[in-house]
Structure 1
Amino acid sequence: MQAPRPHGVSRRAIVSKKRARPLHRQEAKTPEHEAIYRRLRDMILFGEVEPGQAVTIMGLRDHLGAGMTPVREAIRRLTAEGALEALGNRRITVPVLSPNQLEQISFSRQAVEPELARRAAERADATLISELREIDRRIDSAIEKGNIRLYLEQNFRFHFHLYARAEAEVLERLVLGLWLRVGPSLRIVCGRYGTSNLPDQHGATLDALATGNPPKVQAAIERDILQGLEQIRLSMLEAPESVTGDGAD
C-alpha cells in the first residue's frame, strides 16, 4: 500500500499548477519564511514526499502557494538538517534511509528521548497530563479509523508536547532532526501494514506521569521508540524497496 500524496505530488515530482490554500490564521502570525519552513518540514515528517522521490523546486513553490525566496530558504534549512538532498536541475529529494543510518538514528533516539521524557516528568503537572491524554485520545481514534496521517501528526505532537516540558532546547532540536530523517520511512511502513499494530506506550507513559514516577516515564518512552524503529528495521529486511523508495518508477 503506497502512502497517499497531497494534491500535485507525483512519484517523480510535484507538478501542481494550482496555488495551495492560504496560510491559516495561526500561520499568518508567523513570519512567512518560518511558516513555509514548518509546512515543508511537516510534509517530510509525515511522509507526503517519499524517500528517493524527486521533487522540483518550482513544484514545491506552487504546492505551498509561496514565493520562491521563502521556499528556497526552507529547502536550504532542511538540507542542512539532513532532511533533504539536492539532485541538481532544481530538484530535491528526501534521502533514502539505509540500515546503517537507521541503526545510528535508533542509538541516538534511545540515548536522548528517554532522558527528555524523564526531565519532562520531573516538571509535569495536571494540566500537561490532561493535554497529553487528549492527544492520546486522538491517536486512539486515528488508529481505530486507520487514519495514518492523523496518527503520525498526533504521535509527533504527543512526544514533542511532552519533551517541551523538559526545558532542554538543544536536546529537543536534536531529536526533531532525527524524526525528520525517519518520518518518511515510518509513513511507508504504516501505509503497508496499516494502523492495527502500531507502537503505543502512551498509556503507560500517562500512568507513570500521573503517579509522579519519572523513571517509569523514561522506560515507557524508550519502549515506544524501540517498537517503532523495530517495525522499520523489520520492513527493511522483508521488503527494502517499500521502505527506502528503491522500487519507485
Structure 2
Amino acid sequence: MVKVENAAKRSTGASPSAPAHEQVYRQLRAQILFGEMAPGQAVTIQGLTAELNAGMTPVREAIRRLISDGALVFQGNRRVSVPQLSKSDVEQIVYVRKSIEYQLCERAVNRITDALIDTLDLIDQELDAAISSGNVGRYLERNYQFHATLYAQADAPILAEITDRLWLRFGPSLRVVCGRFGTESLPDRHKDLLTALRARNVAAATAAVLLDIEQGMDQISAVLAAQN
C-alpha cells in the first residue's frame, strides 16, 4: 500500500527566521514540486491563507512568484491552478531536460569528490527504502535531492535554475505516476550513475542521467495517454 506523507511540511527549504513571504513561497513550492497539489488543482489566496495560517500579502506574493516560475498558471477569469501537462509539454520538457541535465551531469563529474559521492549514495539508500515501503512523498523528495545535489556540483547556477523550474512543471504529474504504478516501477538509474561517478566516467554518467529522464517522462506520457 502506498503511503502519502506531507513532504512540503518537512522540506520547505526556508529557515524559520526567513521573512514570511519566503517561508510561504517555499512551502507552496515544495507542495507543487512533490506533487501534493494535483495537476489542474485550483489555487486561491483565501484557501492558502487558511491552509498555511499565513497573511494574504505573503500568499499573494508567493503565488506571483510561482506563476513566474511556471509552477502555477492563469486559467482565465483570474483563476490560478497547477499546470496540466499536454503531450507537447512533455515532449518539450524532455528535450530541454536532456540537453541541460546532460550538461550539468558532465560538469559535475569533472568536479566530483569522493565525499559527495558518499553523500549521494546515502541519499540513494534512503530513496531505496522509500521505494521498498511505498512511501511516495519520501521517494519524490529523495529523488529530487539526489539530482539537485549532483547538479549543484556542476557550478552552473543558470542551468541549475532552469532545471529546477522544469522539475516544478512535472512534479505534480510524477506524483500521479506514483499513484498509478507504485514506487516499485519508477525509474531509478542512480546505481548506474553512482558507479560511473566513482569511475569518473563522463560518458556512462551522462548516459545514466539521460535514461533516467527518458523512463520517468515516458511514464508521465503513458498516464496522460490513458487519461485521454
TM over 0.5: yes
Contact 2:63 2:72 in 1 (8 A): yes
Task: Give the counterpart of 1:55 among 25, 43, 50.
Answer: 43
Q: How does 1:1-249 map to 2 (within 5 A)?
A: 27-87=15-75, 91-240=79-228
The alpha-carbon deviation at position 59 of structure 1 amounts to 1.1
The alpha-carbon deviation at position 233 of structure 1 amounts to 1.0
The alpha-carbon deviation at position 87 of structure 1 amounts to 4.3
Q: Evaluate the alpha carbon distance shift between residue 37 and residue 3 of structure 1 in structure 2; reply closer, same or farther with a 3 A threshold.
A: farther
Structure that is richer in helix per residue: 2
Q: Evaluate the alpha carbon distance shift between residue 50 and residue 24 of structure 1 in structure 2; reply closer, same or farther with a 3 A threshold.
A: closer
Contact 1:49 1:184 in 2 (8 A): yes
Give the Cα–Cα distance (whole angstroms) in 1 for the partners of residues 13 and 63 of structure 2. 23
Give CA deviations for 1:196-217 in whole Å, capped at 9, x if unaligned.
Answer: 1110000011111111112211
Give the Cα–Cα distance (whole angstroms) in 2 for the partners of residues 220 and 63 of structure 1. 40
Q: Evaluate the alpha carbon distance shift between residue 88 and residue 67 of structure 1 in structure 2; reply closer, same or farther with a 3 A threshold.
A: farther
Give the Cα–Cα distance (whole angstroms) in 2 for the partners of residues 180 and 161 of structure 1. 16
Contact 1:45 1:183 in 2 (8 A): yes
Range 73-82 or range 136-145, more displaced: 73-82
Fraction of identical pairs, as percent: 49
Contact 1:5 1:49 in 2 (8 A): no
Give the Cα–Cα distance (whole angstroms) in 1 for the partners of residues 100 and 76 of structure 2. 35
TM normalised by structure 2 equals 0.91
The residue type paired with residue 122 of structure 2 is E
The alpha-carbon deviation at position 237 of structure 1 amounts to 1.8
Give the Cα–Cα distance (whole angstroms) in 2 for the partners of residues 26 and 224 of structure 1. 29
The alpha-carbon deviation at position 238 of structure 1 amounts to 2.4
The alpha-carbon deviation at position 90 of structure 1 amounts to 6.5
Q: Secondary structure of 2:15's partner? A: helix
The alpha-carbon deviation at position 38 of structure 1 amounts to 1.4
Give the Cα–Cα distance (whole angstroms) in 2 for the partners of residues 193 and 24 of structure 1. 27
Q: Evaluate the alpha carbon distance shift between residue 79 and residue 2 of structure 1 in structure 2; reply closer, same or farther with a 3 A threshold.
A: farther
Q: Evaluate the alpha carbon distance shift between residue 96 and residue 58 of structure 1 in structure 2; reply closer, same or farther with a 3 A threshold.
A: same
Give CA deviations for 1:96-151 in whole Å, capped at 9, x if unaligned.
Answer: 11101110001100111011011011111011101101100010000000011110
Range 54-63 or range 24-33, more displaced: 24-33
Contact 2:5 2:138 in 1 (8 A): no
Structure 1 unaligned regions, length at least 5:
7-19, 241-249
The alpha-carbon deviation at position 74 of structure 1 amounts to 1.0
Contact 1:57 1:92 in 2 (8 A): no
Give the Cα–Cα distance (whole angstroms) in 1 for the partners of residues 129 and 4 of structure 2. 19
Runs of 4+ residues deviating >4 angstroms: 1-6, 23-26, 87-91
- RMSD of aligned residue pairs (Cα, Å): 2.5
The residue type paired with residue 121 of structure 1 is V
Contact 2:4 2:137 in 1 (8 A): no
